[in-house]
Amino acid sequence: ASVVRDAAGLTRLSTTLSRAKVRAVAGRRDFEDVALAVTARAVTAAALARTESRGCHHREEHPQTVAEQARSNVLRLADDQNSVLVEALAAVV
């Protein structure tokens, strides 16, 4: 089974996640909450960047697998520590 995604839903999720309030980390629970929020933003950014369906990632508006997208993506926080940047690595041969 897979989760069906589309650009509109992923964009809504990205907007919602970007509005999450940043708070000081006072303990383990806060640290875990921040880590989960960062991970959610990264997964959402990666899903938006992949405009194809591959494995358990199914895009409703892009149901086909695209050979040129057979690659890994590197995700990192931007300098603002809020935005997630996606960089495609070389295609797998």
Q: Quick one: pLDDT band at residue 16, thresholds 50, 70, 90?
A: very high
Q: Of the given ranges (17-21, 43-47, 58-62, 73-77), which has the lowest mean pLDDT?
A: 73-77
Domain map (residue ranges) of the chain? 3-67
91 CB-near residues (< 8 Å, 6+ apart): 67, 68, 69, 70, 71
**Greater pLDDT, 24 or 13:** 13
Is the model's pTM score more than 0.85? no
Q: How far apart are CA 57 and CA 62, in angstroms?
A: 10
Q: Is the pLDDT of residue 52 over 60?
A: yes
Closest CA to 34 of 73, 77, 67, 65: 77
Q: Class assignment of domain 3-67?
A: mainly alpha
Q: Is the pLDDT of residue 5 over 70?
A: yes
**What is the three-class DSSP state of 71?**
strand
